[in-house]
Structure 1
């Protein structure tokens, strides 16, 4: 439901797209009825009247969750209050953690490669030993960033101060980044320590902001 809301807001889940898929699947030759049960959170992007004109199927906005569709049909296609209620509990946030990590790993794999390459640059032009030593430490700062942005921020979402997700990520990343620097016995205000901390904070903030699309909250841009 939440991802549908995001797609509807961006215009990728709309009457035109639904009608296109219905016509491609030749749905009128498969079923005898002419109704489509649409997810509730897709309402912002779907004009039901246009949908019927484009493909001959009338759109009916069903319950928020797919698990309630059977009960929705049993109630003569009427949704009760529980079916319409939007929740985002700890369990619902926890389910999304693996999704966020799986979406982030490719980007951070490329970032890690770039970090290793940049870490090898020095007076000798490029040193494999320096690339390994510095790159390993810098890459280590990515782990608390992922933990802060993709795990801690979702789980502590209601309690982290601020409304913007990027700001919540900054707070989580700042704390975990500081912990990593102290673990390395590095001085936080030294050049290496500050660089590692800023990277952790920036990466955590990005992941937290990216998490907005998996939640029932909209971003400032819609």
Structure 2
């Protein structure tokens, strides 16, 4: 299980990826590769490894005489993979493409490969993406070819599912805090394969049934397989009270909705197409802003992260938008070829590249969803004011609660085992310091969030010591534990403050970048 939740951390350090994944899977990663090499790889067969990483499997296959091709979204991984094939017995024996799984149709013709493999890839994809990818596999795999998928799956037995959840959940939380990424266990891999035109002839499970290696061939009656999949949703189709609550207490964590196409009003072939990420709060607010405007809303897969963070962290790119366009069959529904992107996705999306790859005209819309209708009414023109990000008091107070509610709850629960007085005093210190820092951010001296917090903690220390000495008539250091708590809580609140309400790189993000982790 560790491999799934720590995989993204390892991906930020490609040179250590193979060794790290093998250690974390207890050797299962290498066992899967060795079994594939021993049983399926023969001279002159054509092999495609989807999500090839550093190319370890392809290097082994190439040494046996196979003609190998790799595809991966990570530039760092592919740099190492290509180096493997630059010299020695592997020189010029491998072909690599940097692309997402839903861009397979760009590179490969029908019946191109004898063997297709994908390890720890499908658990990163949503249902419609997996379906699209599997349909592509049926197209590019030869009639006698074999597909091998190795990935995280949902255990079949209830007890194992419970154990799997209890072990996985805290690890997933830790991983997200470090890498801002999570994965999802596949509910029923065999069923999805069957629905896409494959028949499973061998399956092995390990790690409490949560890791499956599935071997499949194209179904003999492929033409009779139902290839349909829902291609759009209505705003009311996936309303979730739980996700809405999570929007306001768990803003630290991803809150994804199913990516794909949403129909707003009576959208038709000439209606505008807006793009956003699959963060629940963003989707709900954009849908609300577009109410009364007949339009299409295309939700790109961004790991359940908001647009700005996703684009800065490499999750909202041309690849993710193209992926959503393909899996939703957007081109079959819209004649008016114009995409309207959120202004805040500009750090991660190259407009010219997207236009060249899709043939669509691309415009950046306003910063705020509330201005979308006005933007359309003015022929996709926006004012200079609509290009500016603002941090009003209402927003800063919202972020104070959303970003810190779970932190406070955790502290309160721990403190309750010590003394309820600690809970009360800790609550006053925590929210009091938070209110001063968030509400007063533009006015407090210093540009650093930590500097502002440090100044506030000094005042807190003075306040506690003066209260102890002159009200309680005790030595000033008597309540040293409260001095310590006040300093720690205040500095914690300032750690990511500059990024949350200042729109700049915070101390937290700087630390993550130094550790080699995207944010």
- Aligning the two structures, in what range does the TM-score lie when normalised by the shorter sequence? 0.7 to 0.9
Query: Is the 8 Å Cα contact of residues 182 and 188 (structure 1) preserved in structure 2?
Result: no
Cα pair 1:49 1:58 within 8 Å, conserved: no
After superposition, what is the alpha-carbon deviation per residue over 1:49-77, rounded to whole angstroms, capped at 9, x for unaligned? 33345555443111222222222223322
User: What are the equivalent positions in structure 2 for 1:113-124 lying under 5 Å apart?
Assistant: 113-117=413-417
CA gap of 1:87–1:114, structure 2 versus 1, over 3 A, is: closer
| Matched position secondary structure for 1:37 | strand
Q: In the aligned structure 1, how far is the partner of 2:380 from the partner of 2:464?
A: 54
Q: Aligned equivalents of 1:206 and 1:16: distance in 2?
A: 36
Q: Structure 2 residue aligned with 1:148, among 394, 419, 433? A: 433
Instruction: Give CA deviations for 1:140-180 in whole Å, capped at 9, x if unaligned.
Output: 2243223312x221211121111111221233344356546
Describe the SS at the equivalent of 1:141: helix
Q: Return the match for 2:453 from 139, 145, 169.
A: 169
Matches of 1:190 and 1:6 in 2, distance apart?
43
Query: 1:203-214 counterparts in 2 under 5 A?
Result: 203-214=489-500
- Whole-Å separation in 2 of the counterparts to 1:190 and 1:68: 55
Larger relative helix fraction: 1
Match of 2:477 among 190, 200, 203: 190
User: Highest Rg: 1 or 2?
Assistant: 2
Q: Aligned with 1:87: secondary structure?
A: coil
The Cα shift of 1:190 comes to 1.4
Deviates most, 23-32 or 63-72: 23-32
Matched residue of 2:489: which SS? helix
Q: Deviations over 1:29-51 (max 9, x none)?
A: 33322222112222111112333
Partner of 2:407: 107
Pick closer, same or farther for the CA change 1:69–1:216 going to 2, 3 Å: farther
1:13 aligned to 316, 322, 329, which one?
Answer: 316
Choose 195-204 or 155-164, whichever is displaced more. 195-204
- What is the alpha-carbon root mean square deviation over aligned residues? 3.1
Seen in structure 2, the aligned counterparts of structure 1 residues 211 and 19 have a Cα distance that, compared at 3 Å, is farther
Listed as ranges, the matches of 1:131-146 within 5 Å are: 131-132=418-419, 136-137=421-422, 140-146=425-431
Unaligned runs of 5+ in 1: 118-130
Note the C-alpha offset of 1:5.
Answer: 2.7
5+ long unaligned stretches in structure 2 = 1-281, 283-305, 514-519
Change beyond 3 A, Cα 1:155–1:36 = same
1:98 alignment counterpart = 398
Q: Does the 8 Å contact 2:448/2:498 carry over to 1?
A: no
Could you tell me how far apart the structure 2 residues matched to 1:188 and 1:56 are?
Answer: 74
8 Å CA contact retained: 1:169, 1:207:
yes
Closer/same/farther in 2, CA of residues 102 and 72 from structure 1, 3 Å limit: closer
Count residues in correspondence: 201
| 8 Å contact kept, 1:15–1:50 | yes
In structure 2, the residue matched to 1:159 is 443
Aligned residue for 2:380?
Answer: 77
The structure that is strand-richer by fraction is: 2
TM-score, normalised by the number of residues in structure 1: 0.72
Q: Distance in 2 between matches of 1:24 and 1:147?
A: 48
